[in-house]
Structure 1
Amino acid sequence: MNKRVLNMRILDWWNEDNEVNFYSNALIQLLQQKYDVAYSNTPDFILCGPFGYKHLEYDCVRIFYTGENVRPDFNLVDYAISFDYAVFEDRHLHAPLIFFNTYRSKELQNTLKSRIHLSKYKTKFCGFVASNGYMTEMRDNFFEALCAYKNVDSGGKWKNNIGTSVDDKIEWLKSYKFNICFENGSYPGYLTEKLFDAFMSGCVPIYWGDTSLRCGIDKECNETSNKDSKKDISPEVCTSNFFTRNYKYDENLDSNAMGGGGEYGIFDTRIPNIPPYLFDYKINPKAFINAHEFPTFKDLIDEIKRIDDNDKAFRDMLNEPIFLDDFDPQEFYSQRVFHFLDYIVSQGPTCAKRIGRGSYLQRKENVMKTCPYNIDSSITPKFMHYCMKHRNFIENIRKISEFPRDIIRIMRGK
């Protein structure tokens, strides 16, 4: 029996738009199990990422997929696969890229299940690997604060202090007890490979980013179950306010100081109010150090010191399972993503359309099509790296440019 042909294209993605990258894409390979997927200049369906707006040039079904900390715009796309715990008609699927597209080999899966054997390699304190320093003040400030306790080796391009950049992050980290694995931003559900690279290396992760990892975790017993999250609870019950405050730390929270800095940096200890039925998994809180459980840098570093000085506490963390209820993320999300995509394409290009139509929406699309990001998507990351490299100089120029304005304000004040 001949497979149905799907004419598709991938645009605004992490890699270049060409046939080689198209056919090696994990989402395309999933669809090829059932369909004859063809790279096409006249696609009926588009997979689009967050790196531009070229997908707006095609009047077809648009499926947004992100590995970045951005929200899908359903005014511009028909469907989305993202980090968000959100229900929006039949148009959205929560599926972190990390579980679907990265750790798929049996060897890696086995390492995630058992890490205690890696403890024999632990001869160093803490490793840190980052290549991007753009808008990462929380991560940078905590790195400096922890270095005040013990030197942290930085093997990435950013803040490198070992003389060379490491080629194999996971292998390099195997000699370290701890790993600073801060995301480049914080948001409920935003979970990337950083936490799992630390697990894979047998490190105790020092994690900051996804605030939803504390949802449904009983602080007293520090245990929960994925099964607990499957209760059929109405969304209306859980959305009266987005965040639930951790009452113990209320007096320490200051929205103006949430970014923190130095030893007295402040972490966001609020717990997102997400309906329990939206959770597919729970990560064991005993397996890692969650920065969002500590109000300040000092409190977090005190906990790191405690584990660093107590070999039993360190080994106990390595013995803990990563997921509660023996969750298999690769199997679960491979099936879920396939069924979501199959549901979309099986409707055909006409019935699968979901974007609204109207003069305002059309004007919005026209504006986005003229965005400089859409003209050359390589300009933005290059410009960002340039600004990161010379940010002190740029900041000084900005201050100098404001000097005449400040003088005028002073004179007017007098």
Structure 2
Amino acid sequence: MRDIKIDFIDFWPNLDKTNNYFYNILSEFYNVIIDSEKPDLIFYSCYGYDYLKYKCKRIFFTGENRRPDFMACDFAFSFDFNNRKDHYRLPLYLLYLDEANMNNKITEIKSRRELSEAWNNKKKLCCMVVSNPNAKERINFFHNLSSYIDVDSGGKVLNNVGGPVADKIKFIQDYKFVISFENESHDGYTTEKILEPIFVDSIPIYWGNRLVNKDFNPKRFLNYQDFETEEELIARLLEIDKNSEIAIDILSQEVFSQEVDSPSKIRKNVLEIIIKVIENNKKPKSQSYHELIHRIHFGFNRKLKMAKKKISYLFKSS
């Protein structure tokens, strides 16, 4: 194996640079070295602008509802559906599936007896675990559903179980249904939220990606957008709770849609794409234009904030 120097820039704070989807994939083909000084390639995300400092090849990935800037990257992985040659669809749930070692268990075929036992062992009805207080659809549904049944909230938002839980997966496995709303709705934007309840043989109540059926089998979860009213959705939830045979039918379904490639095939495609970017002799894209726009944008915002403070001060003084 030959050496390849890489780094991860502008990702979420707890990213493990030597144990993540991209690092692990590249390690199958290269001797991967983390080098923050002179990398051959950087992977960067949407949580900052430090990537502007690097002149090497750049690959963008987003787990948030953000668009790639194709002027600043040599290739982009995101959840969008498009036919660009410099883009490949890689929703966040696939990274989560791989890094949490869910690949085998999520596709494991269980007998009805096993699923019935798992379902009947769940002594609690419904929960959610979230930390973002700004997703109004999720908050509103929690309140509406709570007027019919008790809903436990184990996250930072609307917590009613004595404080945030330490282990989300361990917490939700005791519940039959899990509120699995995305933070935002955008076509193709599918995160790990729908996957976690499936992993523990629970039923997700999903809202978000209108095209989620392209990723997941619609018979394996309750899709908020399939119901005309919340009352109809809640009535269906209560019906399933009272009839375990319906629940087992849902739990028995294939997890993924037949339209989507298997996680292993996608992983193989991603490796081939990254190798192609690395081995391509083309010079990395110029950042000068993007950096200029970035500086103008932040300079304008700074002046706008100062103007607002001055106006506020004048009104208070008058």
Q: State the TM-score bracket (shorter-chain normalisation).
A: 0.7 to 0.9
Within 2, Cα distance between the matches of 1:148 and 1:106?
A: 37
Tell me, yes or no, if the aligned pair for 1:31 and 1:338 is still in contact at 8 Å. yes
Tell me, yes or no, if the aligned pair for 1:127 and 1:155 is still in contact at 8 Å. yes
**Partner in structure 1 of residue 309 of structure 2:** none
Deviation at 1:197, TM superposition (A): 0.6
Residue type at the aligned position of 2:40: D
Residue type at the aligned position of 1:315: I
Tell me, yes or no, if the aligned pair for 2:105 and 2:199 is still in contact at 8 Å. no
Tell me, yes or no, if the aligned pair for 2:106 and 2:255 is still in contact at 8 Å. no
Within 1, Cα distance between the matches of 2:188 and 2:43?
A: 21
Deviation at 1:325, TM superposition (A): 5.0
Tell me, yes or no, if the aligned pair for 1:112 and 1:199 is still in contact at 8 Å. no
> Structure 2 length normalisation: TM-score?
0.83
Matched, 1:28 2:27: no
Residue type at the aligned position of 1:311: S
Within 2, Cα distance between the matches of 1:123 and 1:22?
A: 39
Deviation at 1:166, TM superposition (A): 1.6
Q: Which of 68, 74, 80 is equivalent to 2:70? A: 74
Superposed counterparts of 1:9-408, under 5 Å: 9-15=7-13, 21-38=16-33, 39-89=35-85, 91-103=86-98, 109-113=104-108, 114=110, 116=115, 117-133=117-133, 135-214=134-213, 282-325=215-258, 329-348=262-281, 351=282, 353=284, 355=285, 362-369=288-295
Aligned partner of residue 212 in structure 2, secondary structure: helix
Tell me, yes or no, if the aligned pair for 1:178 and 1:206 is still in contact at 8 Å. yes
> Structure 1 length normalisation: TM-score?
0.65
Q: Which of 3, 6, 23 is equivalent to 1:5? A: 3
Q: Could you give the per-residue CA deviations for residues 8-45 of structure 1, whole angstroms, max 9, x where no partner exists?
A: 2221011379xxx4333331232232223331412232
Tell me, yes or no, if the aligned pair for 1:64 and 1:80 is still in contact at 8 Å. yes
Change in CA separation of 1:107 and 1:189 when aligned onto 2, cut-off 3 Å: closer
Residue type at the aligned position of 1:284: N
Within 2, Cα distance between the matches of 1:112 and 1:182?
A: 22
Deviation at 1:367, TM superposition (A): 3.8
Tell me, yes or no, if the aligned pair for 1:182 and 1:194 is still in contact at 8 Å. yes
Within 1, Cα distance between the matches of 2:29 and 2:242?
A: 54
Tell me, yes or no, if the aligned pair for 1:204 and 1:318 is still in contact at 8 Å. yes
Residue type at the aligned position of 2:5: N
Tell me, yes or no, if the aligned pair for 1:4 and 1:36 is still in contact at 8 Å. yes
Change in CA separation of 1:369 and 1:121 when aligned onto 2, cut-off 3 Å: farther
Residue type at the aligned position of 1:5: D
Deviation at 1:292, TM superposition (A): 1.4
Structure 2 gaps of 5+ residues are 299-311
Tell me, yes or no, if the aligned pair for 2:61 and 2:77 is still in contact at 8 Å. yes
Change in CA separation of 1:101 and 1:153 when aligned onto 2, cut-off 3 Å: closer
Change in CA separation of 1:81 and 1:144 when aligned onto 2, cut-off 3 Å: same
Tell me, yes or no, if the aligned pair for 1:57 and 1:369 is still in contact at 8 Å. no
Change in CA separation of 1:36 and 1:369 when aligned onto 2, cut-off 3 Å: farther
Within 2, Cα distance between the matches of 1:104 and 1:56?
A: 28
Within 2, Cα distance between the matches of 1:191 and 1:106?
A: 18
Within 1, Cα distance between the matches of 2:107 and 2:149?
A: 28
Deviation at 1:285, TM superposition (A): 1.2
| Runs of 4+ with >3 A deviation | 100-108, 324-330, 361-364, 369-372
Residue type at the aligned position of 1:32: S
Deviation at 1:195, TM superposition (A): 0.7
**Which moved further from structure 2: 108-117 or 53-62?**
108-117
> Percent sequence identity over matched residues?
33
Deviation at 1:156, TM superposition (A): 1.1
**Partner in structure 1 of residue 303 of structure 2:** none
Within 2, Cα distance between the matches of 1:75 and 1:154?
A: 42
Deviation at 1:92, TM superposition (A): 0.5
Deviation at 1:352, TM superposition (A): 5.5
Within 1, Cα distance between the matches of 2:70 and 2:100?
A: 34
CA RMSD of aligned residues (A): 2.7
Change in CA separation of 1:110 and 1:52 when aligned onto 2, cut-off 3 Å: same
**Which moved further from structure 2: 172-181 or 98-107?**
98-107
Within 1, Cα distance between the matches of 2:93 and 2:208?
A: 14
Aligned partner of residue 366 in structure 1, secondary structure: helix
Tell me, yes or no, if the aligned pair for 2:3 and 2:32 is still in contact at 8 Å. yes
Within 1, Cα distance between the matches of 2:259 and 2:68?
A: 31
Residue type at the aligned position of 1:14: W
Tell me, yes or no, if the aligned pair for 2:119 and 2:201 is still in contact at 8 Å. yes
Aligned length, in residue pairs: 295
Structure 1 gaps of 5+ residues are 216-281, 373-400, 405-414
Aligned partner of residue 23 in structure 1, secondary structure: coil
